[in-house]
Amino acid sequence: MKNKFLLVLALFFFTTLRAQKFEGLAMTPPMGWNSWNTFQTNINEKLVKETADKMVASGMKDAGYQYLVLDDGWMAMERDSDGNLVPDPKKFPHGMKELVDYVHSKGLKFGLYNCAGTKTCAGYPGTRGYEYQDARFYASLGIDYLKFDWCNTDGINAKEAYTTMSKALKKAGRPIVFSLCEWGTNKPWLWAENVGELWRTTGDISARFDGYLDHGTWKQSGVMPIVDLQQGLRKYAGPGHWNDPDMLEVGNGMTVNEDRAHFSLWCMLAAPLIAGNDITKMSKTTDDILTNKEVIAVDQDKAGYEGYKYKTMDSVEVYVKPLSNHNWAVCFLNRSDEPKTINFDWQNELISDTLSHETMDAKNTNYQLHDLWKKANIGDTKKPLKTTIEVHDVLMLELTGK
């Protein structure tokens, strides 16, 4: 009798844990745009409407980008007399609901930002102590995505704070994708699968390929240091719960090669694709990178496996990602400051992935090679791959077995 009681109790707690967040959200990594990387707190309703229009006109919506997310700075500096958040009346003279409805009218989804602390990173009202009230407010606006930051959190337990907000969103009744922007400090990959749909694994990104941008008291990481920090985390990601290495810096000042490499690596990592550039003024080259559907398909593959670094060959790093239907994506990255020539003999590489239980065996399967940036077939795995990869550039392939 005692064992039966314990079993029922265990099932109750398991069911409660599973039911903590809405099921079925973000079954592939979320795609969208966020205001912070380019505009910081300099946001307003004109910018939002122009961005929504451009997301449609540029082909981003058609390529899969859904969420338009306003980051820090959308609210007034104080709550009202009832403790409610108030959109800044100067930046958003028609209120937030009208703006949400406009974005929805374009076939897009809308997201907002707040913080687990007493104040946001830019000093606006945080959510600590107002979780359920704020969740009801977001639901009343009809938003679809909440980015929840980690500033001004002295003495606050991360797991408790994010779990409370997750429960508040569930209680409010509107399915909202919950993005935990906790910077990886408290290892959210260990506890956040049933709390939110994605969690940051690092501090903030910067528009540089390698190294750091030093602000004195804190640093922004370049693309490659962030990629390096993803090692060992892939087992925690999958449909509905993703590792988030931060937003994209494509179009924000790196070279074309670096932008292409950055985007390719995020797709190999099954990372959320949240653009952070000014898309109302982006070049055709930037647009072409962000909307390459063949590369995006690797990120959005329904199997949901995160790729990983397989090996390094004279500064050329080889990343592999198992895909649906026993196919593979392979990305050769030249991390060095000079062009590199590779000679990769597929016949000598037996790649076995213990997570997906997939094996790439070119001796027994002849894979067709498709270049995802040139959008062209370039042969098969019967012959070694011989090519030169330019500085900070990639060769990204899909391997399809016959």
Count of other CB atoms within 10 angstroms of residue 334: 24
State the pLDDT at residue 130: 98
State the pLDDT at residue 107: 98
pLDDT at 8 over 80: no
Mean pLDDT of 311-325: 97
Mean pLDDT of 270-298: 98
What pairing do the DSSP bridges indicate for beta strands 367-371 and 376-380?
A: antiparallel
Task: Quickly tell me which residue has 């939002």 as its tokens.
Answer: 48
Mean pLDDT of 161-184: 98
Residue 80 appears among annotated catalytic residues: no
Q: Which of 12-16, 54-58, 200-204, 270-274 has the lowest mean pLDDT?
A: 12-16
Mind listing the pLDDT tens digit for each residue in 226-239?
Answer: 999 999 999 999 99
State the pLDDT at residue 9: 40
Confidence of residue 3 (pLDDT cuts 50, 70, 90): low
pLDDT at 267 over 80: yes
Confidence of residue 20 (pLDDT cuts 50, 70, 90): confident
Contact 50, 280 (CB under 8 A): yes
Alpha-carbon span 301 to 123, nearest angstrom:
39
Domains of the chain are: 24-299 (3.20.20.70), 308-401 (2.60.40.1180)
Mind listing the pLDDT tens digit for each residue in 61-109?
Answer: 999 999 999 999 999 999 999 999 999 999 999 999 999 999 999 999 9
Mind listing the pLDDT tens digit for each residue in 103-140?
Answer: 999 999 999 999 999 999 999 999 999 999 999 999 99
State the pLDDT at residue 374: 98
State the pLDDT at residue 5: 43
Burial group, residue 1, by CB count within 10 angstroms (0-12, 13-18, 19+): exposed
Per annotation, catalytic residue among 204, 299, 353, 393: 204
Alpha-carbon span 256 to 274, nearest angstrom:
18
Per annotation, catalytic residue among 149, 287, 299, 353: 149
State the pLDDT at residue 273: 99
Q: Mean pLDDT across the chain, nearest whole number?
A: 95
Confidence of residue 14 (pLDDT cuts 50, 70, 90): very low
Residue 287 appears among annotated catalytic residues: no
